[in-house]
Amino acid sequence: MKMIISEKAIAGRRIASILAGKEVPATASGKAIIFSFKRAEQDWVVVPLRGHIVDVDFPKKYSYWLGTDLKKLATAEIEYLTKEKVIASALKSLGEKADEVIIATDADREGESIGVEALNIVKQSKPKIAVKRAYFSAITQKDIEDAFAKLAKVDFNFADSADSRREIDLLWGAVLTRFLSLVSGQLGKDFLSAGRVQTPVLAILVKREKERNAFKSKKYWVVSALFEKDSKNFETEHKNGQMWDKETAEKIMEKKSERGIVKSISRKKRVLARPTPFNTTNFLRAATAIGMSVGEAMNHAEFLYQQGYTSYPRTDNTHYPPTIDLKQILDEMVKVNEFSHLVGEILSRGKLVPSAGEKASKDHPPIHPVSAAPKSKLSERQWKIYELIVRRFLATLSEDAETENQSVEIHVNGEPFIARGQLILKAGWKDVYPYSKITEVILPEMLEGDEVKLLKMNLLEKETVPPPRYSQSSLIKLMEDLNLGTKATRHEILQKLYARHYIAGLKAMEPNQVAFAVIDSLDKYAKRVTEPKMTAELEKEMDLVAAGKKSKKEVVDESRDFLGIILEDMLKNKNNVGSDLRKALQADSVIGTCDKCGKGQLRKLKSKNGKWFLACNRYPDCMNTYPLPQKGKIVSTDKLCEQCGKPVIKVFGKRYRYEMCIFPQCPSKADWKKAGEKKLENTVKKKDSEAISTAVIQKPKQ
């Protein structure tokens, strides 16, 4: 018997059905799901895992936070503990009967590690079993058949590199998190977390927020003018653009007249190059632009991959390899009504010449569609991601767009104003990729020396604005540039920051006061932890493990030594760190001045049964309390309700943000609640709820 190990049940079912040439129903081995079939007169069985079925953890004696010496924790041994005992039992019992085991997990470092975990369990019952590896980038008939026709060897170095990351992340995360939580007294499920990648990413957000807070706006002036030619109105702006001196702008206004003279006209053709194929970072950035969080987008992409509709979603590659049959994919896309006419136009041009980005790697190909997905079989948001991937693929095979850009200089008593127009000469890829729009600005026909009528001249006072907060899209790109995390983990890091309530907001990520305190404390006493350089260096070390140039033990031990040095500095300053964090936690819990006594502050508190509420900090002298929403981050708005005069709070999470009055009997309460529910409804559809990811944080033991 041949035994196949797949990463998840949905992938296992498809692999089994493809190899069997028919649908294979799920059966059971003990309490585990398996898929059994015959192929070439031989028995085959697919055993699906649930991702990692083995956890990395410390021995039980280190479970209690309050009684553990952090120095000993930094040097503690790490155990690999089976968490999915039902699946492990099936692997052992079926392994005894199998002649060969084929690892068919995802073809990346994490997939290799997951496969080797399962293989080690199989070897407990059959140590000398034959082992092969099936590598594929899409779960289609062709890809699976090709992979099983040319089975390879398992790359144990690849698996070790993933496991070295798991061990290092456990060490750094456990030691830093316990330190911050213990010195601040913030234990239980609201503990303060830190990590090798998480902390420098949070530091980036805090640094930007500090830049915004320190920013001092500066006034400037802009002079614009509205002209008319042949009954067509068009806007212009003074050639000088921003003027930092109001007097200069006012002098221009004084030269206003009834007419302007066309002094020069320039025309320039512009080529708007088609986009490059999707790698993971560019895909996630595009997905956030259409209203997805990076976690949700990745979940949908993984689902589409497991269903055989798209290729593997974790890749650095922006070059289609020559082995990809672009014509065959287009023939598949013709079957989808929504894209058939677009595909027809691309095929009518003959030879297919795709675009290519800077990164050409030997891992998976760029993210692309592989088979037709019926819209009726996908949820609304799954379809949204599928359509994005298909349209990007079609855009990479389309023609460049071309425009003619016009610049017309018009003088009013010697003052130059510029009108800018844009004509679309060829829409090209813009026709198939509506996420990047092109706008025409049609100017009236003009010749040098023409007079145009001045309808209105405006003096606009404006102010410079602070640098914008990072969006998920811009932060994911920066993480890639700084080598923080990997293509497979960057979205998970953002999810953790949301889950720990360090940040909030989907379009613009805003850190809270606790985030400031955590980063400020670490900046003072363990600066290397907050800097991207240290994390990037560790990533390079793990690459050496994958290349077989260093052992997992070497890299992990070096990381332990470095962690020990940092811990020493932190422990010397634990009282200062604890004081800073406690002040920040207290400040973050304040919503505003108590509306009843006027002397105390309303603070967020948690009841014995775990419910959040507001209460005056002058209790028992003041008994004022209010209930609070139990989900989402809550902050003060410094506003009072127009209806009842009570404080207004802001409630926000990863995908929603709304305001509401704290007074339960407020006449506006129904409107606040309705507005909040509408926000949620518009962002998270009920049928997609299972696909939306949430970062799971293990409750610490105290």
Q: What is the pLDDT of residues 569-604, one digit of tens each?
A: 899 988 988 888 888 877 777 877 888 888 888 888
- Residue 466 to residue 451: CA distance in whole angstroms: 41
Was domain 280-396 assigned CATH 2.60.40.10? Answer: no
d(CA 198, CA 493): 6
- For residue 220, give both structure tokens: 């400037």
Residue 648, φ and ψ in degrees, nearest 5:
-105, 135
Which has more pLDDT, 66 or 403? Answer: 403
The CA-based angle 501-668-597, given to 5 degrees, is 70
Burial of 223 (0-12, 13-18, 19+ CB in 10 A): buried
pLDDT at 702 (0 to 100): 33
Closest CA to 470 of 502, 501, 496, 505: 505
**Coil, helix or strand at residue 101:** strand
Q: Is the pLDDT of residue 47 over 70?
A: yes
Could you give the residue ranges of the DSSP H alpha helices within 397-504? 472-481, 490-499
For the four alpha carbons of 126, 128, 130 and 132, in that order, the dihedral sign comes to positive
Tokens in use for 276?
A: 């490059």
Longest Cα separation, the chain: 95
Instruction: Name the residue among 635, 683, 680 with its Cα closest to residue 660.
Output: 635
**Which one, of 692, 690, 691, 626, lies nearest residue 656 by Cα?**
692
Lowest mean per-residue pLDDT among 121-125, 530-534, 676-680: 676-680
* Range 176-203 average pLDDT: 88
* Residue 279 · residue 366 · CB < 8 Å: yes
Q: Which amino acid is at 661?
A: C
Quick one: pLDDT at residue 620? 85
Q: First CA to last CA across the chain, in angstroms?
A: 48
Q: Which of 617, 630, 620, 627 is nearest to 590 (CA)?
A: 617
Q: What is the spatial distance between Cα 498 and Cα 633, in angstroms, rounded to a whole number?
A: 9
Q: At what angle do helices 552-572 and 156-184 cross, to 10 degrees?
A: 10
- What is the phi/psi pair of residue 161, to 5°? -65, -40
* Confidence label for 683 from pLDDT (cuts 50, 70 and 90): very low
Asked if 356 and 397 touch (Cβ cutoff 8 Å), the reply is no
DSSP H helices, 126-155, are 141-149
Q: How confident is the model at residue 669 (pLDDT cuts 50, 70, 90)?
A: low
CB-CB contact of 202 with 515 (8 Å): yes
d(CA 108, CA 93): 27
Question: pLDDT > 70: what percent of the chain?
Answer: 94
pLDDT at 695: 24
Is residue 620 reached through a cis peptide bond, with omega within 30 degrees of 0 on the bond before it?
A: yes
pLDDT on residue 694: 24
Selected from 3.20.20.100, 3.40.50.300, 3.40.50.140, 3.40.605.10, the CATH number assigned to the domain covering 2-49+84-154 reads 3.40.50.140
Residues 6+ apart with CB under 8 A from 265: 406, 407, 408, 409, 446, 447, 448
Average pLDDT value for residue range 377-405: 96
pLDDT at residue 525, rounded to an integer: 85
Mean pLDDT, residues 255-280? 95
* DSSP conformation letters of 285-337: HHHHHTT--HHHHHHHHHHHHHTTSB--S-----S--TTS-HHHHHHHHTTSH
Q: Out of 312, 320, 386, 658, pick the active-site residue.
A: 312
Residue type, 409: E
Of 2.60.370.10, 2.70.20.10, 2.60.40.10, 1.10.3720.10, which CATH number belongs to 219-274+401-463? 2.70.20.10
pLDDT recorded at residue 653: 61
Rounded to whole angstroms, the Cα distance separating 367 from 365 reads 6
SS3 content of the chain, % helix, strand, coil (to 5): 40, 20, 35
Residue 618: the pLDDT is: 83
Cα–Cα distance between 102 and 153 in angstroms, integer? 10
Q: Which residue has the higher pLDDT, 108 or 405?
A: 405
Give the length of the chain: 702
Q: For the chain, what is the mean pLDDT? A: 88
Strand partners, 265: 408
DSSP state of 428: G
User: Quick check: helix, strand or coil at residue 24?
Assistant: coil
Alpha carbon dihedral 108, 109, 113, 118, in 10-degree steps, equals 10
Give me the torsion for CA of 447, 449, 454, 457, rounded to 10°: 100
Please report the pLDDT score of residue 672 as a whole number.
Answer: 52
**pLDDT value at position 667?**
73
Q: Where are the domains of the chain?
A: 2-49+84-154, 163-214+469-582, 219-274+401-463, 280-396, 593-686
Q: What pLDDT, on the 0 to 100 scale, is given for residue 623?
A: 87
**Whole-angstrom Cα distance, residue 47 to residue 31?**
12
Q: pLDDT tens digits for 550-565?
A: 999 999 999 999 999 9
Rounded Cα distance, 355 and 365, in Å: 13
Tell me, what's the pLDDT at 643?
77
Is 397 within 8 Å of 350 (Cβ atoms)? no
Contact indicator for 542, 161 with CB cutoff of 8 Å: yes
Q: Residue 101: its pLDDT value, please?
A: 97
Distance set, CA 458 to CA 252, 256, 259, 408 (Å):
10, 10, 15, 19
Given a cut of 80, whether residue 521 has pLDDT beyond it is yes
Phi-psi label, residue 188: left if phi above 0, alpha if psi -120 to 50, beta otherwise:
left
Kindly tell me if the per-residue pLDDT of 698 is higher than 60.
no
Residue owning tokens 């691309």: 346
pLDDT above 50 (res 78): yes
The CATH number that domain 163-214+469-582 falls under is 1.10.460.10
Mean pLDDT of 125-146: 93
Residue 169 has a pLDDT of 92
Measure the CA–CA gap between 232 and 225, rounded to whole angstroms: 14
Lowest mean pLDDT among 114-123, 257-266, 525-534: 525-534
Q: What is the pLDDT of residue 686?
A: 32
Total-model pTM: 0.83
Question: Tell me, what's the pLDDT at 668?
Answer: 67
- Catalytic annotation on 626? no
Q: What's residue 171's pLDDT?
A: 95
- Dihedral over Cα of 669, 670, 673, 678: its sign: negative
Cβ(428)–Cβ(398) under 8 Å? yes
d(CA 258, CA 456): 9
Q: What is the mean pLDDT of residues 671-677?
A: 50
| C-alpha span between 492 and 222 (Å, rounded) | 44
Q: For the residues 686-693, what does the mean pLDDT come to?
A: 28
Q: pLDDT category, 635, cuts 50, 70, 90?
A: confident
d(CA 122, CA 116): 10
What is the predicted pLDDT for the residue at 649? Answer: 81
Rounded mean pLDDT, 477-500: 89
623's tokens: 């008994």
Task: For residue 561, give both structure tokens.
Answer: 């030594």
